[in-house]
Amino acid sequence: MNDILPKDQIWWDLVGQAGRRVAELHNFSFIETPLLESAALFEAGIGVNTDIVEKEMFSFRTKGGDTVALRPEGTAPVMRSYFQHQLGYFSSPLKVFYSGPMFRYERPQAGRERQFHQWGVEIIGDGDPVYDAAVILVCLDFFNEVKLKDIQLKINTLGCRVCRPTYRQKLKDYYRLRKSKLCKDCQRRYDKNAFRLLDCKEEECLKMRGGAPIILDYLCQNCNNHFKSLLEIIEDNNVVYEPDSYLVRGLDYYNRTVFQFHHPSSPQELGGGGRYDYLAELLGGRMIPGVGVALGLERIIDAVRGRNANIQPKLGMKIFWVAVGDQAQKSSLKLMGQLRRAGVIVGENLGRKSLRAQLKAVNRAKVKVALIFGQKEVFEGTIIIRDMETGGQETVFLKNLIEEVRKRLR
């Protein structure tokens, strides 16, 4: 698990503000669920035979004897909240977005530590493929907002409870004679979760996957119509996509539409999602259709930093206050407070007494303007304004300070 350091905060602010802006433009409301939930929520929703529940969940017993887990993903908690607070009565479909840390005990990899952050959207209460497309489009708007180009969309369908059993059996029939050549994880998955055989990244398993049957040949009419309608909608919106007949997701609750976003700079997907019409039933409720997506913020930040030289996050601090002498130092906090209340971000290093040391701090901060306040200025009611780009400076009265500073920051 990593710290987010001050030097990186500008990038987190950039993607965080972009996510909120895009979500609100698409009329999504913010929801925040607890970091800690009942472990049973994820066991029922994600599936006890998934890698997340079997290997990756941080779970423990409380003093009261309850088994809880740090949330490994955001969709199941949102659905739990949907039932608990009867959110369907307030909006149908419910459109919400979230952003925050998730936790998985897995091998750390590029852009994915054991604590990682996701931004996600969920639409609960309608099974129309137009909402599958809406989720994809909001993600593409997010990528566009952070100036991340060359996004690759891969898309597939997993069918439904009518057509999926037939495909699952065909898949198992194909792998039965090849089972001994599968990796140990896939040998275990064969009986418990055959769809995950298509998701393995081991070289030998990838070779075998090339001849495996594809679900498109076994879809029922309803799933075929749903998938066809979705593709027509995203094509009408000029979205470029790549059909991937072997794309599955690592969570049991997905059905029908599944998709992932990739970028050339990242070895892993930036995020993905799909439809989860049976999740509500898995959690003990009635069937409520839903569709959503989760994007990995660390991976997006890495891609933005590495591939978009045009993005230059603006530092908020443009003014640095320099105080020389005890009296100037004592008077500085009140004057800096006036500037801050006027909306000006002011940096300082008042603990350093010498002018030279404070000017070094000014240079490191790379601000546009330095305000120099010494003993003479205290008695005269003035201050020196220095332009750090040209080196020119001017003395102005303190009563005009806010006006003069704004003039130089335009």
**Is the pLDDT assigned to residue 33 strictly greater than 90?**
yes
**Is the pLDDT assigned to residue 315 strictly greater than 70?**
no
Q: Could you give the C-alpha distances from 44 to 80, 268, 285, 288, in angstroms and in order?
A: 11, 27, 12, 16
Q: What is the pTM of this model?
A: 0.83
Written as six digits, the tokens of 312 are 């230059």
What's the pLDDT tens digit per position in 347-399? 888 877 788 888 888 888 888 899 999 999 999 999 999 988 888 999 999 99
Report pLDDT for 364. Answer: 84
Going by pLDDT thresholds of 50, 70 and 90, the confidence category of residue 308 is: low
What's the pLDDT tens digit per position in 91-127? 889 999 999 999 998 777 766 788 999 999 999 999 9
Q: Which residue has the higher pLDDT, 92 or 258?
A: 258
244 CB-near residues (< 8 Å, 6+ apart):
154, 155, 156, 260
Share of the chain above pLDDT 90, in %: 48
Going by pLDDT thresholds of 50, 70 and 90, the confidence category of residue 312 is: low
Nearest Cα neighbor of 147 from 274, 233, 240, 263 is: 263
Report pLDDT for 111. Answer: 67
**Domain 319-409, what architecture?**
3-Layer(aba) Sandwich (3.40)
Looking at domain 6-163+219-307, its CATH class is alpha beta
Question: What number is the average pLDDT over the span 72-79?
Answer: 94
> Over 47-115, what HEC string results?
CCCCHHHHHHCCEEECCCCCEEEECCCCHHHHHHHHHHCCHHHCCCCEEEEEEEEEECCCCCECCECCE
Cα separation, 213 vs 195, in Å, equals 11
- 394: three-class secondary structure by DSSP: strand
Going by pLDDT thresholds of 50, 70 and 90, the confidence category of residue 176 is: confident
DSSP state of 195: G
What's the pLDDT tens digit per position in 34-60? 999 999 998 887 776 666 777 788 999
Q: Could you give the C-alpha distances from 141 to 2, 17, 54, 378, in angstroms and in order?
A: 28, 13, 35, 52
Written as six digits, the tokens of 388 are 């750090």
Q: Could you tell me how many helices (H) and strands (E) the chain has, helices first?
A: 15, 16
Report pLDDT for 223. Answer: 94
Report pLDDT for 373. Answer: 92
Report pLDDT for 132. Answer: 95
What are residue 120's phi and psi, to 5 degrees? Answer: -145, 160
Question: What number is the average pLDDT over the span 136-154?
Answer: 93
Average pLDDT in the chain: 88
Q: With contact defined as beta carbons under 8 Å apart, do 279 and 45 qualify?
A: yes
Alpha-carbon Rg for the chain in angstroms: 28
Strand pairing class (290-296; 115-124): antiparallel
Q: Could you give the C-alpha distances from 102 to 68, 119, 196, 293, 294, in angstroms and in order?
A: 14, 10, 22, 14, 11
Report pLDDT for 310. Answer: 56
Going by pLDDT thresholds of 50, 70 and 90, the confidence category of residue 209 is: confident
The length of the chain in residues reads 410
Going by pLDDT thresholds of 50, 70 and 90, the confidence category of residue 211 is: confident
Q: Which residues of 303-312 are buried (b: 16+ CB within 10 A; e: fewer)?
A: bbeebeeeee
Cα separation, 336 vs 347, in Å, equals 9
Written as six digits, the tokens of 78 are 């949102």
Cα separation, 350 vs 294, in Å, equals 44
**Is the pLDDT assigned to residue 200 strictly greater than 60?**
yes
Report pLDDT for 42. Answer: 87
Q: Which of 39-48, 152-161, 172-181, 261-270 has the lowest mean pLDDT?
A: 39-48
Cα separation, 254 vs 269, in Å, equals 17
Report pLDDT for 57. Answer: 85
* CATH code 3.30.930.10 region(s) in the chain: 6-163+219-307
* CATH code 3.40.50.800 region(s) in the chain: 319-409
Report pLDDT for 178. Answer: 86
**Residue 123, Cβ density class (10 Å: 0-12 exposed, 13-18 middle, ≥19 buried):** buried
